[in-house]
Amino acid sequence: MQNTLLLTIILPAAAAPFVYFLGKKSSRYPAFIIALICVINIALLSIIVPTILNGANHKYVESYYWIPVLHASFTLFADGISLSMAIITLILILAAALFSINYMQEKKGLAGYYTLLTLLSIGLVGVFITSNLMLFYFCWELMLLPSYFIIGGWGYREPYRAAFKFFIFTHAGAIFVLLGIGAIFMVTGDLDMFQTQNALKAANPELVKWILLSLTVGFAVKMAAVPVHMWLPDAHSEAPAPMSALLSGVIISAGAYAILRVSLGTVFPAVMATSFGSMFLHGLTIFGIISAFFGSLIALVETDIKRIIAYSSIAHMGYVLFGLSLFPFQEPVTGTVLHLVNHAVSKGLFFLSAGAVMKQLEIRDIREMGGLAGQMPITATSSTVAALSIAGVPPFACFMSEFLIFVGAFQAINIDNFYLIPTALMLVATVLSLAYALRFLSHVFLGSTKHEKATDPLSFMKTAMIILAVLTVALGVWPTFFTQLISSASLV
């Protein structure tokens, strides 16, 4: 099929009006439509897997006539990295839609909620499957607006305050991204990621340095790396659970993907052989370590059930930054992208499970919880799978991706001994991850029972959690599908 990638954007765009009007009559039908579109799009993307694995350049490209004055084609592409991210995004959106049926049923204005979720899916998938920097930026901003209105309209205590903070931070980051894209066009006269990669090698190195820094800072804001993380705890904790799952599972991962694809894959090759190139990678390492320790240590003392998981996201973006700093070694790049996939599933499950607990108990403080394992067995099992995966415990998903990152780190040590101490520190950070995961489980699900009437949530919430829990275990036991896809991609 020649228009496969275009269809993955057209289908949700065409469905958005139907989602809205059906949402006026029923709170279930819009969720079913979103879930169906996700299944269809996953099937469409699966069609091009053989092309990517077996093709000469391991890419699938669709190009359409668009803006000739900017020498810009409406170009959609997929390689092993972008396809992996798009597939896992659709799975998470499917789970969020199903979870919303029961979780959001008492809320008002659900037609708008599901319509915004549909639009958000276009932006999320679009970021991963375009090579045109202008189209990339359109999708980048399309992630922002629906997220703002979902957090503000259906959040918890002070939703619009958290949403506004999220908007200001991420839009400020987007300005840096736009400046970088504009500078790339000024230097190369092109907006295609792959065409500009070679053109930038002939550009003024000083200008390329500033382009690289501008783009990376902008992407790091969306990634919520320390010190530009301040929006994340409030946004994640105030958003409804399905939105928290997407924020932590996919939206911050989009920032990491953009650093890999645009900063490192497109701009960095022009300065890779210079001393600045080494300094840049070492800087990513340092910020990765800071993020990992900061997030883990705050998660160890936090008592709000959702803020614990939010700070855990900051910690795991530290692992990702550390993996990105090992560019262009194949093992850590594969491990880093696999970690984005595994973190998306595990953290999405973690937030949905926390949302189920909050829905049933109507409290947020883990000190007021306890003994829920016997009363909410499915929620407890899902939370345990998610927490142990986040902690890097085998055979759950995040263990294998963290293992690959550390294998790459030991390779890097043989070439640059700078990575010796950072690798040791990141190994210590994994211990902290296990500590806050066990603390979470013990406070919420073990000990004496404090809430006699607590039960597992309704069927659609359980279904969504079971889907992600099974996938978290499957990715830990058999990550081969994604590792083959990811390792087939070439960035330089």
329-362 pLDDT per residue, tens: 889 999 999 999 999 999 999 999 999 999 999 8
In the predicted structure, residue 252 carries a pLDDT above the cut 70: yes
Please check the confidence at residue 290 and state whether its pLDDT lies above 90.
yes
| pLDDT above 70 coverage of the chain, percent | 99
pLDDT at residue 26 in the model: 85
The mean pLDDT value of the chain amounts to 94
CA pair distance 268, 331, nearest whole angstrom: 19
- Residue 355: give the domain boundaries: 4-488
Mean pLDDT value across residues 295-303: 96
- pLDDT for residue 65: 80
What is the Cα–Cα distance from 335 to 406, expressed in whole angstroms? 9
Tokens for 294?
Answer: 């900061």
Q: Which is more confidently placed, 70 or 249?
A: 249
211-237 pLDDT, tens digit per residue, is 999 999 999 999 999 999 999 999 988
Least confident of 164-178, 261-275, 439-453: 439-453
Q: What is the pLDDT of residue 492?
A: 63
- Amino acid identity, residue 301? V
pLDDT value at 2 more than 80 = no
Give 258's Cβ-side CA count (13 Å radius): 36
Give residue-wise pLDDT tens across range 407-430: 999 999 999 999 999 999 999 999
Q: What average pLDDT does range 40-46 have in this prediction?
A: 96
CA distance 261 to 250: 15
As a whole number, mean pLDDT of residues 153-160 equals 88
- Residue 68, pLDDT > 70, answer yes
Q: Give 484's strand partners.
A: none
Q: What's the pTM value of the predicted model, to 2 decimals?
A: 0.96
- Tokens 């960035």 map to which residue? 491
Q: What is the mean pLDDT of residues 196-223?
A: 94
- Among the listed ranges 22-26, 50-54, 304-308, which one has the minimum average pLDDT value? 22-26
Model pLDDT, residue 1: 59
Q: What is the pLDDT of residues 354-399, one digit of tens each?
A: 999 999 998 999 999 999 999 999 999 999 999 999 999 999 999 9
Q: How many domains is the chain built from? A: 1
